[in-house]
Structures are given as structure tokens and as C-alpha cells.
Amino acid sequence: MRIIDFHTHLQDRWFLRPLPSETQFLDGMDRCGVEVSCIYTIMGFYGNCERENNQLANYARAHPKRIIPFATVDPKLGKPAVEELERCLSNPVFRGVKFHNWLQAFAPSMARETMIEILRCCARHDAPVVFHDGTPPYATTFQIAAMTRWVPEAKIVLGHGGLADYVYPAGQLLRDMPNLYICFCGPKAGDLPYLVEMAGADKVLFGSDFGFSDWKMLAGRLDDVIESGLDNASIEKILHGNAEQLLHLKERPL
């Protein structure tokens, strides 16, 4: 079965801690049968977004059939953040955007005007926007969901589907908000049938956080889906079908 991992990080380090290299990252994908990974930065959440976005684009150019970069910007900067986002999304190699409000130290409401501009820009480019969720005080699942109402035409993805303690409300929000999606990355096998029951299998995407840790994390997160007891049709949508749609892979193949 084709597998698209909607949530990974490709970065050489997190502060001083070494992370899987580019080669190890691709080896991990191969080992676990992942065809395509959406890659996000880590150190770019702390600054130098432009440099880090360029690095992500370089990875994609080196592995155009395997890697899809998601850009990030710092909304605290205001207009320059929107300009950097426009620069990235005008480059067809980027197909999405990632924010990590917790690490980037902003709650959406602190940068509301800029976030609205950012989400409108993403909507114009029809690029999904992934937000880390499940972590107070800047990235609760409710904070992301509240922002989703500001720009209904934007496609917003809860990067962790409620993570640990917000899974139940994440399911309710997913059901109630048409432009909200969930990346199943963190919740466990027993949570997945509930999320699908609440909103259907069309709004759930597979993600692993691979790159932040080694290939075993990717393998484990795949098991969370495969061992969930869901029917094959739902699993197919989660592991690749929904990502293909959000990333326009049929209209714009890699």
C-alpha cells in the first residue's frame, strides 16, 4: 500500500542533539515502506526561516519523488512573514506550511492580523497549513480550532490530532469544522476509530514525526494506524488517499 507521511522533520540537529541525516531519513522511509514524506524544519521554528526554507527546498530538489517541503515563517514579524510565505508558496516545490506555535512562541491570537493574512495566502495557493496541537499554552487544540474560523477557506490540519489529552475534543472539532483536518501523529491505535467515526476517514491523514526521532518512531506510528482495527478502505485514505488530495498529487504529480 502506498504510504505518504504528512508529518516529518528533516534537520541535522535539534539544538545540540543530532537527528537522522538525510541518508538515514531516506533509509528509514525505505525500511518502513514510505513513498513520500512531507518535511518540516525544526531549527527554523527558532529563527532564520528563510535559510531553513531554502534548505528544505534543496532536499526536495535532491529527492523530487520522495520529499515535499512545507515552509514555515515567524508570524511575530508581521508583514515580512507574509512576504516570506508568498515567496515559498510561489515556488511549486512547496505544497504546504507548518507552524509550531509552541516552539515558535506565539498563540494565534497574539498575531491575529498576521495569521489571517497568512491563512489567506495559504488559501490562495490551496496549500494546507499544519499546526502543532495538544500543548499549552500556545498550541492547545482549541487555540488551533478557534483560528480555523478566521479564514474558512483555509485548510487547517491539527498536526497531532489532539496528541494526548485533547483527542476527544479534537474529534468533536473535526466533526464540526469543515476546513479542519487531523494528522494522526501521536494519538494511539484505540483513538483512531473514534476520530474516523466522528468525522469520517476523509479528514484524517497519517503522520509520524519521523526525523525528530529515528526510524522506529515511524514504524511505531504506522503500527498505530495498521493495528487500529479500521477497515482497509479507511486505512488507504489515511495512509495516502487524503494526502494525495490535499497535496494535489494527481493534478500535479511529483
Partner 1 sequence: MKIEPPIIDAHALLGAEYHLKLDPVELLRRMDAHMVETAIARPMGAELAVFNTEGNNRVLKAHPRIRGMAAANPWFGGKAIEELKRCRDLGAVGLFLHPSRQGFMPTDDLVRPLLDFAVEAGWPVMFHTGSYVQSDILALGEVARKYPGLNFIAGFGGFTDMWFELPGLFAEAPNLYLDASVMWSDAIEQIVRERGESRVLFGSAEPRNCYAAGLKMFERLDVNDQQMRAILSANAKRIFRLP
Burial label for 231, CB within 10 Å (0-12, 13-18, 19+), is exposed
Is residue 165 at the binding interface for partner 1, with CB under 8 A as the rule? yes
Contacts of residue 208, defined as CB under 8 A and 6 or more positions apart, other chains included, come to: 5, 7, 8, 185, 217, 218, 221, 222
Is residue 189 at the binding interface for partner 1, with CB under 8 A as the rule? yes
CB of 102: closest distance to partner 1 in angstroms? Answer: 7
Tally of CB atoms within 10 A around 215? 20
Burial label for 130, CB within 10 Å (0-12, 13-18, 19+), is buried
Amino acid letter for position 124: R
Choices 38-46, 78-86, 90-98, 160-168; region in contact with partner 1 by CB under 8 A:
160-168
Is residue 224 at the binding interface for partner 1, with CB under 8 A as the rule? yes
Sole binder of partner 1 in the list 33, 78, 178, 190 (CB under 8 A): 190
Give the count of alpha carbons within 13 A of 28, CB side only. 28
d(Cα 56, Cα 50) in Å, to the nearest integer?
10
The one-character DSSP state at 76 is G
Is residue 188 at the binding interface for partner 1, with CB under 8 A as the rule? yes
Total of chain residues touching partner 1, rule CB under 8 A: 30
Binding string to partner 1 for residues 203 to 222, with x set by CB under 8 A, is what? Answer: ----------xx-xx-xx--
Binding string to partner 1 for residues 92 to 131, with x set by CB under 8 A, is what? Answer: ----------x-----------------------------
CB of 219: closest distance to partner 1 in angstroms? Answer: 6
Place of cell 528544505: 56
Q: Which residues bind partner 1 (CB under 8 A)?
A: 102, 134-137, 160, 163-165, 168, 171, 186, 188-191, 193-194, 197, 213-214, 216-217, 219-220, 223-224, 226-228
